[in-house]
Structure 1
């Protein structure tokens, strides 16, 4: 049925419930033939006529348009607001439950925009919980709908590209981003498209397309400078920072990151500020490893900030593993072990480069204190994390570091296999 058919059917149903004829409903403002055409779906009433009919039928305008009463509409909007608030506050499990329960509400079926908002919210909550495959499936279903707004299509592309990238499915991440960016019917550069471009740029970097990444970073910076909006400036400068780091320009990387952070502090939400502050500490740590103690102290404070905001499970795990590395470099080995294990425990049990990095760090720490059995156990676990992942630059680096650690632990055969895996990931 079309929208006009459904509206007409609701008017007819309520009219009969009220015991009115078409002529009685029409008089004196409308003709009974016009009411007949509306009820049969052959005419689409104007907003003014719909409001008039709602008054004469003593029902809500919301019911005639959407098939739900004003009270039911209020309940749905309130439930959606609570679900969004839970997600913003970092209560990911509760948010996921609330979005799921709302989708089961039959009254939501005819409310296309609200139902799409709810499905999108569920996808974000699912992604924040680390269930990337489920999030991807929801986003794909939503993307197939014909009546999505232009902004919603870009938002879906951003989160689909991000979910693919975090799953190490880099070819698919690039395809999603490029499809939207190169679409001739897309709008001119705006905040959402710059954010999508930044997410695509991250996929280029992880895939090892450094020349393309460098060129695209410059394009995004030009677009952001032309827009002059805080959101675009943050996104473009942050990814320019990551690009500079990947291409060996450490000080330039920190400079871009600090510019992004300055704007984020003034305009960003607490969640975004928390994520960026931790990442900036990591960026400085990589540029100046001798400042491990400062990085350790900053990351310890970042843990508290992450716990107070709505950062995702993966975001918090990433900070814990980075903190463990800083603690290991400053000699706080017990703390390093605890944080690496906690971060690792927050991840899915397979298919995570971050999980591999956590186990590799644990292997190095235990090896350093001569607890060789535990060291070998953690290094062997790196295989379980990396094996399900497609080849990528990040996986190649982790396999190579694993091979070096295996050599140090006396596992020559394992080291040879890991070196071969590293070469395969690098396309050699």
Structure 2
């Protein structure tokens, strides 16, 4: 940068004194040109005006027209990402990063964040994780900044979606600690990180921590948070209430979250919330499958354009339940097959839920052989997952279906696995010990 400033000054026939001002001495100009000082953004802007170019040209040495093209391409890539055109966004970010020599530090950071976000939205989470991890190590990403917060939240969410709940929580807690250590009051950043952490606590079954964090964040969200931030907190607080079997409270909290976020320009988040509200409608003591179906069909149309495969599959699974409630078994079966197809790219607990629902639809129609095959397939698939609150829920669901259709042995085994997944091991069996001694 110093050489560029000197060469341009000499080319224009200016002396160092000509670049000086009341705030910038000629000796400081000399230090900059010799590479012994790095000018601040304000000083660089002043020098650029006097040299008749842009600050970006002094930083990079590239023609201002080239830099303007890069800025436009970066903006279009970010717009594509917001609009759900994740494949096009990923390609654009990749093309920009392939020419990193023309990017300044800020542009490169934006492109790397965009690339990782596009990978996550395309459900290429294993590829997204190392990019997010490298970003968090980058000193250019200042702790406490908006970008740092978004990257921390995304990395925590990625690990959670991969099933590593412990690491997801560790990242979230570390981010919350960092924000606290900055000495600031609880901020919007706390709300973003905290709402993700609540969801991870919920998935681990750590309901007390989830509840306490929700109680901490709700007043702050009400006072300082935007509609989207407040909606995220109420959304996760609803999950905690549901886990405590407080279905009416969970539904009220999630409905409030939807009302707060309904006008948000993040169509994906609104669609996910509609899916959650519909699911809670179906879980309540007085289900409203017609309203649930309306919400889900609306959410499904949006998620088909801007959602990930997993998010679309979760909507399809709820559509199975809504149509089953209404006795529309053909429609429910079609949604079950679509959900399984959407989840075929990798191991997902949600695929087990879709298979169990498809199995029960076969059994309800008297297609016993197909139903039993699907239940056995779901059982085999579920054994491959690490025990968690989520897998416990699926084991319980599987046991209930076995029980409803007169298979007590299989039901008992599934219930045992559900208890183990919650961290409750089987009790000591003295008869087994005696048998080992006699053997």
| 1:143 aligned residue | 136
Cα deviation, residue 43, structure 1:
3.7
For the residues of structure 1 that align with 2:64 and 2:285, how far apart are their CA atoms?
60
Cα deviation, residue 209, structure 1:
0.8
The answer on 1:173 being equivalent to 2:162 is: no
Determine if contact 1:68/1:107 at 8 Å carries over to the other structure: no
Determine if contact 1:350/1:388 at 8 Å carries over to the other structure: no
For the residues of structure 2 that align with 1:208 and 1:65, how far apart are their CA atoms?
50
Cα deviation, residue 402, structure 1:
2.2
The answer on 1:258 being equivalent to 2:255 is: yes
Q: TM-score, normalised by structure 1?
A: 0.86
Larger relative contact order (CA 8 Å, sep ≥ 6): 1
For the residues of structure 2 that align with 1:256 and 1:34, how far apart are their CA atoms?
59
Q: 216, 223, 228: which is aligned to 1:226? A: 223
Determine if contact 2:198/2:213 at 8 Å carries over to the other structure: yes
| 2:356 aligned residue | 360
Determine if contact 2:333/2:358 at 8 Å carries over to the other structure: yes
| 1:26 aligned residue | 15
Cα deviation, residue 101, structure 1:
1.8
Change (3 A) 1:68 1:418: farther
| 1:192 aligned residue | 189
Cα deviation, residue 378, structure 1:
2.7
Q: 57, 62, 69: which is aligned to 2:63? A: 69
Q: How does 1:70-89 map to 2 (within 5 A)?
A: 70-89=64-83
Structure 2 gap ranges (5+) = 21-25, 425-439
Determine if contact 2:251/2:281 at 8 Å carries over to the other structure: yes
For the residues of structure 1 that align with 2:72 and 2:265, how far apart are their CA atoms?
25
Indicate the SS of the match to 1:349.
coil
Change (3 A) 1:264 1:404: closer
Q: 375, 379, 387: which is aligned to 1:379? A: 375
| 2:333 aligned residue | 337
Cα deviation, residue 294, structure 1:
3.2
Indicate the SS of the match to 2:130.
helix
Determine if contact 2:248/2:284 at 8 Å carries over to the other structure: yes
The answer on 1:316 being equivalent to 2:298 is: no
The answer on 1:240 being equivalent to 2:234 is: no
Change (3 A) 1:353 1:268: same
For the residues of structure 2 that align with 1:143 and 1:264, how far apart are their CA atoms?
29
For the residues of structure 1 that align with 2:204 and 2:132, how far apart are their CA atoms?
23
Change (3 A) 1:206 1:30: closer
Indicate the SS of the match to 1:174.
helix
Query: Which region of structure 1 is more displaced relative to structure 2, 399-408 or 81-90?
Result: 399-408
Q: Deviations over 1:272-314 (max 9, x none)?
A: 3222223212222212464223322332233223335x23332
Query: Which region of structure 1 is more displaced relative to structure 2, 42-51 or 264-273?
Result: 42-51
